[in-house]
């Protein structure tokens, strides 16, 4: 599902790997989920980009040290319980331009 989603959004060429935690049975916002990406990709967490349509999820990834993109389709306020996401976007179509600028 994730591979098809990234391809349909025109992001597949920009994303090196898509990782799912389904088989591990650990769930966000556990730091172990985010650490899995660091270990599997052998990349420092500061070099990671994390995209979610859930503010709590983006805030959890931000707290872990990832660069975060929250897809906020409804215009809801940022969750004040965690670290605010780095970027708030309305849809995946905004993501390629942000990634190109980085």
Q: Is 22 exposed, middle or buried (0-12, 13-18, 19+ CB in 10 A)?
A: exposed
Q: Is the pLDDT of residue 79 over 70?
A: no
Per-residue burial over 3-18, b = 16 or more CB atoms within 10 Å of its CB, e = otherwise: eeebeebebeeebeee
How does pLDDT run across 10-27, given as a tens digit for each residue?
Answer: 877 877 777 777 767 787
Asked whether the predicted pLDDT for residue 81 surpasses 70, the reply is no
């Amino acid at each position: 599902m994730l591979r098809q989603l990234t391809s349909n959004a025109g992001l597949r060429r920009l994303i090196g790997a898509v990782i799912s935690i389904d088989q591990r049975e650990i769930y966000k916002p556990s730091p172990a989920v985010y650490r899995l990406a660091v270990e599997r990709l052998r990349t420092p967490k500061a070099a990671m980009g994390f995209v979610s349509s859930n503010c709590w999820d983006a805030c959890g990834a931000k707290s872990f040290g990832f660069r975060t993109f929250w897809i906020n389709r409804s215009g809801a306020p940022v969750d004040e319980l965690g670290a605010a996401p780095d970027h708030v976007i309305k849809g995946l179509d905004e993501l390629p331009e942000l990634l190109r600028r980085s």
